[in-house]
Every structure is written in C-alpha cells, then in structure tokens.
C-alpha cells in the first residue's frame, strides 16, 4: 500500500513545475483533525498512483509554502493543475469530497 510522502518547501516548488496534477495535504504533527484525514490522503495516493501525485507538507517545518498560499487553518488540502491552485478544502471532509475534487482535474 502506498502512502502520501512528506515533502518540504523546495520539493513543493519543484512539483509546481514538474507535475501536471497534484494534491498537497497541509498538515502538522500536533493537529488532531489532520490525523483524521491522513488515511484519506494515503488512500488518494494509492488510488490515483500514476495519474496524480499526492503528498503531505508539514507546515510547522515548511512555513514558506503555508505563507505563500495563506494557510491559516489545517488540515488544508490543496489541488493543483498545471502549477495553478484550483481548489483548497479546509477542515475534515469525507473521502468522497477529496476524490471528487481530484476527479474534476483528471
């Protein structure tokens, strides 16, 4: 089973350039709600492997990206297409919400 890998700010910036479609879960180890959606993000990573890149970003350690996209509350799951932020789902949502947002981009 594949899980969503953790990336840092510089890896994020590289993804903006290299990946057509990707999802970033802005999370933190101290965030309770983030732990609730973590399995959903891992499920997305597995289900969409080869079609979309799904990653996690710990905003406690990577403030540049959080500031750049004005992330004020987490979990915040950002959906990118061709380097553009097209959707940002903040808070705990069911798996279907994340899946539907990703399906729209494919």
Which fold does the domain 5-103 belong to in CATH? Glutaredoxin (3.40.30)
> From the candidates 26, 31, 57, 78, which is the catalytic residue?
31
Rounded alpha-carbon distances, angstroms, from residue 45 to 1, 29, 56, 68, 73: 9, 19, 10, 24, 22
Q: What is the pLDDT of residue 20?
A: 95
Element (H, E) at 40: helix 32-47
Q: What is the pLDDT of residue 1?
A: 57
First vs last C-alpha separation in the chain: 22
Cα dihedral sign, 101-86-59-15: positive
> From the candidates 26, 34, 57, 102, which is the catalytic residue?
34
Question: Per-domain residue ranges for the chain?
Answer: 5-103
Q: Is 26 one of the annotated active-site residues of the chain?
A: no
Model confidence at 15: pLDDT above 80: yes
Report residue 3's pLDDT band, with 50, 70 and 90 as the boundaries: confident
pLDDT digits (tens, 9 = 90+) for 18-66: 999 999 999 999 999 999 999 999 999 999 999 999 999 999 999 999 9
3-state DSSP helix/strand/coil percent for the chain, to nearest 5? 40, 25, 35
pTM, two decimal places: 0.95
Average pLDDT over residues 83-106: 97
Q: What is the pLDDT of residue 65?
A: 95
Model confidence at 73: pLDDT above 60: yes
Model confidence at 2: pLDDT above 90: no
């Amino acid at each position: 089973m594949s899980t969503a890998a953790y990336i840092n700010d510089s890896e994020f910036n590289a993804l903006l350039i290299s990946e057509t479609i990707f999802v970033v879960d802005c999370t933190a180890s101290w965030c309770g709600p983030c732990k609730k959606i973590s399995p959903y993000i891992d499920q997305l990573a597995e289900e969409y492997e080869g079609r979309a890149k799904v990653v996690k970003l710990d905003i406690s350690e990577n403030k540049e990206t959080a500031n750049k996209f004005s992330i004020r509350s987490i979990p915040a799951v950002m959906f990118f297409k061709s380097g553009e932020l097209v959707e940002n789902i903040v808070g705990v949502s069911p798996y279907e919400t994340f899946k539907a947002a990703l399906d729209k981009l494919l």
